[in-house]
Structures are given as structure tokens and as C-alpha cells.
């Protein structure tokens, strides 16, 4: 087989998108090397639960031949949705999980499932890409922070929001949405804080008021993930908007942004563990696309970073990984396969990105609560459909 029919493939990033691509290529007998900057798989918590959509995340898992493994870690029982106001009054509960097919899965477990399905040497940990050099023979040289370099025929940027591969095809950079999250978590909530576990319930719960929200989700092992979210300037923390001098000070100063909210909701902040992660929410321009460049492509957040208000990011990343792998495995001409993948990926990610942008703007508005109520009623088939609004996260 010549190099043209079997390209040397490098995948930058061992997130859900890159690992899905690697797994399906492996299944189809194509070699690929994944380069990941983290030094090992559990070096940092991967974050909370994701719900896997049938047409994207679950489709990719099927293509990866991992449906049975997924069923073992999927939490079909955690598909509830709840909406409260800032006084803690329950406005809506959507607890009929029997009809739903968007099971939750912990990010860490999803990543481990994909890693376990790959040969042990498929991921090169501790390899942070710092530059890519194009050569006249149509190969690309990857240069890593360690100084090591290696050449490939096809480089796939699956390296997330701040992709180092993206500048090879596009000048676009993510811009700040105006909304900042602080991620908090409560371990072993059923035993330690049963009243908070009951408040959050078995799924995703929103407390919304006037440009602010607290979002709770139940993860595996009775962990509660909490996002305290608000409109804030991008540099709000540097400018003293949050006292980060100690975990206690951080919780107290975060709670002041939610003054007037009921004490029981503020307990979600005060009872959290000491690990608190600020996350400024960025997005690429809706409809981001590029002129095809042979030998380089992007998937997932590197291609179409969007606000989490749409719940599509990881799902689309996995669908991208699956579709690119199937195109590469199925075609005679791998360059044409990449081009076809890009056309389909651009078309499907644009409406998701537009929906995610509209949703974050609506939730973090003065009328955020009524937008959320309407969206959740529509989601469970109880209200008029309002076009663009998507069920958040
Ligand atoms: C608060 C929040 C909540 C979310 N909730 C949901 C949800 O419920 N459902 C959903 O579908 N999506 C959700 N998302 C979006 C989702 O997290 C992303 O869309 C998804 O992780 C993208 O996957 P990816 O594989 O493209 O990139 P990533 O998951 O970002 O993975 C990229 C990988 O590349 C590595 N990397 C980066 N740079 C380099 C480099 N230079 N060299 C080597 N490796 C590198 C990183 O370490 C990482 O492992 C949420 C996002 C946020 C911020």
C-alpha cells in the first residue's frame, strides 16, 4: 500500500473527538497516533456529566463498536430536568425518564472507555504541540514543547478551544460570550447533604434569575456538579470580582454575586469542595469554516467551539470523529474523504452553534427565567415552539 492510500495520521488531542476518531480508525485497520499534552489520563478531573444524544454521541459510540461498554457506564436514570426560581421555588419538573434517550455519562468514564478500546501505545501522553511546519513534499512536521518533532501526511486538530492546528486553516479565534462560569462540586451528596441532593434531583437543574444562573447536575457516585454562572467582564476575576485568596474567601465572594437568592441555594456554593474552576465561556463565529487545505483538518471544539447552551459540543466532536474515520476508511482517495467530511461537518455544526449562541443570550437576559421555562416546556412537549431556543447543556 502506498503512502497516498494509507496516510500517516496524527491526531492532536485525546478529548472525546480525537479518541473517537482514533478508535474507529483502529477498528478499520488504519494507524493513527494521538498526541496529548496531559501527562496521563487522570491528571485532572475531566469535568461533569454529558448527555449523549442518539443522532450524534450515541451514533459515534455505535460506530466505535462500544455500545455495550457505554450501557455499563450510562445513567439513564439521571435524565430529569428541573427549573427553580432564585427563591428555590420549583417551577417545573420533567421527571418522566422512561421516554428519554439522552443518558448521562461522566466525562472521565467516557474518556477511559475510549482509551481502553485502543492499543496501549495509541496515545502519546505529555506531548504538547507547539508548532506545525508545512514541507514541500506535502507533509507536516509537528513540533512539540519537548523539542521532539515528527512528520505526518494528515494532521487532525482535535485540540479543543485554543487549537494550535487551527491557524493552519483559519484566522478565526474564539471570542468571549460575556458569561462566566465557576465550576464547583459536592462529593458524596446523598450521604453528606441529602437536602442538596434532593434539590438538584436526578439530572440537570437550573436556578435562574436576572442574568444569573446556578446549574446543578448529578454525576456518578452521588457527586453534584454546580456551575455558578453570571454575566461579567472577561477580566472580572483579575479586576477583583472574585477573591481567590483562599477557598473560603472565594465561596464568600462568589455568594455575594448571588445576594438575594435563597439560603438553600447558596448552600450549593458553601457546601462545595475546595476545588473551584472559573471557566469563561467562549465561542468561534457561528458558521466558522475554511478553505480546504490538503493534509490538515479540524474536529470538535477546534472547528466549531460553541457555548455549552445547546448541549451539543462533545456530541458533535464525537460525531465528527466518527464521520472522519469512516470517510478515511471508506474512500480510495483520503484527501477527497477529508474534503467530504469537512463539507458535512460545516453544515451540521452551524445550526447547533447558532442555537447555542441564542440560548446563552436568552438565559442570561433580564427575562432569562421565562425563556428557560418556555424552553423546558417545549422540551417536554407542553408549550409552543419558539424556533431557535435549545435545551441548555
Ligand atoms: C461548562 C461546560 C459544560 C459543557 N457541557 C456539555 C454537555 O453537557 N454536553 C456536550 O455535548 N458538551 C458540553 N460541553 C462542551 C464540551 O465540553 C466540548 O464541546 C467537548 O469537550 C469538545 O471535545 P473535543 O474533543 O473537541 O475537545 P476537548 O474536550 O477540549 O479535548 C481537547 C484535548 O486536546 C488536548 N490539547 C489541547 N491543546 C493541545 C496541544 N497543544 N497539544 C496536545 N494536546 C492538546 C487537551 O488537553 C484535551 O485533552 C460543555 C463545555 C463547558 C465549558
Domains in the chain with CATH codes: 9-77+101-173+285-358 (3.50.50.60), 175-283+363-379 (3.30.9.30)
Residues 6+ apart with CB under 8 A from 339: 292
What is the per-residue pLDDT across 170-216, written as a single tens digit (0 to 9) for each? Answer: 999 999 999 999 999 999 999 999 999 999 999 889 999 889 999 99
Predicted confidence at residue 80, as pLDDT, reads 87
Q: Is the CB of 102 under 6 A from ligand 1?
A: no
Question: Three-state DSSP class for 254?
Answer: helix
Q: Is the CB of 356 under 6 A from ligand 1?
A: no
Residues 6+ apart with CB under 8 A from 255: 266, 269, 270
When pLDDT is averaged across residues 283-294 and rounded to a whole number, the result is 97
What is the residue with the minimal CA distance to atom 51 of ligand 1? 308
Q: Is the CB of 373 under 6 A from ligand 1?
A: no
> What is the C-alpha to C-alpha distance for residues 330 and 334, in angstroms, rounded to an integer?
9
Predicted confidence at residue 386, as pLDDT, reads 34
Nine-digit cell at 95?
421527571
Q: Is the pLDDT of residue 94 over 50?
A: yes
Best mutation site among 13, 60, 157, 167 for ligand 1, i.e. most ligand atoms within 8 A of its Cβ?
Answer: 13
Residues 6+ apart with CB under 8 A from 300: 13, 15, 16, 17, 18, 158, 160, 313, 314, 316, 317, 318, 320, 321
In the chain, which ranges are continuous DSSP H helix? 16-27, 59-63, 67-73, 107-116, 189-192, 194-200, 247-256, 263-270, 301-304, 313-330, 334-363, 368-379
Q: Is the CB of 10 under 6 A from ligand 1?
A: no
Nearest to 205 by CA among 258, 265, 149: 265
Predicted confidence at residue 393, as pLDDT, reads 53
Best mutation site among 166, 167, 308 for ligand 1, i.e. most ligand atoms within 8 A of its Cβ?
Answer: 308
Nine-digit cell at 346?
460545516
- Ligand 1 atom showing the smallest separation from residue 49 Cα: 8
Q: Is the CB of 393 under 6 A from ligand 1?
A: yes
Question: Three-state DSSP class for 30?
Answer: coil
376 band by pLDDT with thresholds 50, 70 and 90: confident
What is the per-residue pLDDT across 50-72, written as a single tens digit (0 to 9) for each? Answer: 999 999 999 999 999 999 999 99
Amino acid at each position: 500500500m502506498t503512502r497516498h492510500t494509507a496516510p500517516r495520521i496524527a491526531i492532536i488531542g485525546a478529548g472525546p473527538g480525537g479518541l473517537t476518531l482514533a478508535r474507529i480508525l483502529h477498528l478499520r485497520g488504519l494507524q493513527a497516533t494521538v498526541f496529548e499534552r496531559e501527562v496521563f489520563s487522570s491528571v485532572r478531573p475531566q469535568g461533569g456529566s454529558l448527555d449523549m444524544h442518539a443522532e450524534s454521541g450515541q451514533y459515534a459510540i455505535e460506530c466505535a463498536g462500544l455500545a455495550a461498554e457505554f450501557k455499563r457506564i450510562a445513567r439513564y436514570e439521571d435524565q430529569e430536568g428541573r427549573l427553580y426560581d432564585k427563591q428555590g421555588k420549583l417551577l417545573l419538573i420533567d421527571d418522566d425518564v422512561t421516554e428519554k434517550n439522552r443518558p448521562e455519562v461522566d466525562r472521565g468514564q467516557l474518556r477511559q472507555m475510549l482509551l481502553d478500546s485502543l492499543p496501549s501505545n495509541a496515545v502519546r501522553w505529555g506531548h504538547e504541540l507547539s508548532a506545525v511546519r508545512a514541507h514541500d513534499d506535502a507533509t507536516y512536521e509537528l513540533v512539540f514543547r519537548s523539542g521532539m518533532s515528527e512528520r505526518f501526511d494528515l494532521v487532525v486538530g482535535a485540540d479543543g478551544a485554543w487549537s494550535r492546528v487551527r491557524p493552519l486553516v483559519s484566522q478565526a479565534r474564539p471570542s468571549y460570550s460575556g458569561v462566566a462560569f465557576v465550576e464547583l462540586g459536592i462529593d458524596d451528596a446523598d450521604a453528606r447533604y441529602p437536602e442538596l441532593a434532593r434539590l438538584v434531583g436526578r439530572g440537570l437543574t437550573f436556578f435562574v434569575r436576572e442574568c444569573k444562573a446556578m446549574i446543578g447536575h448529578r454525576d456518578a457516585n452521588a457527586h453534584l456538579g454546580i456551575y455558578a454562572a453570571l454575566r461579567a467582564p472577561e477580566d472580572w476575576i483579575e479586576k477583583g470580582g472574585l477573591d481567590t485568596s483562599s477557598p473560603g474567601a472565594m465561596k464568600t465572594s462568589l455568594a455575594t454575586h448571588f445576594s438575594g437568592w435563597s439560603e438553600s441555594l447558596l448552600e450549593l456554593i458553601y457546601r462545595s469542595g475546595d476545588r473551584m474552576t472559573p471557566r469563561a465561556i467562549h465561542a468561534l463565529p457561528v458558521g466558522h469554516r475554511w478553505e480546504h487545505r490538503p493534509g490538515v483538518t479540524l474536529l470538535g471544539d477546534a472547528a466549531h467551539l460553541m457555548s455549552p447552551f445547546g448541549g451539543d459540543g462533545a456530541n458533535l466532536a464525537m460525531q465528527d470523529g466518527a464521520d472522519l474515520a469512516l470517510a478515511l476508511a471508506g474512500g480510495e482517495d483520503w484527501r477527497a474523504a477529508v474534503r467530504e467530511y469537512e463539507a458535512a461537518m460545516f453544515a451540521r455544526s452551524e445550526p447547533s452553534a447558532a442555537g447555542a449562541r441564542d440560548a446563552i443570550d436568552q438565559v442570561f437576559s433580564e427575562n432569562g427565567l421565562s425563556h428557560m421555562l418556555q424552553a423546558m416546556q417545549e422540551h417536554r412537549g407542553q408549550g409552543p415552539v419558539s424556533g431557535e431556543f435549545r435545551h441548555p447543556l
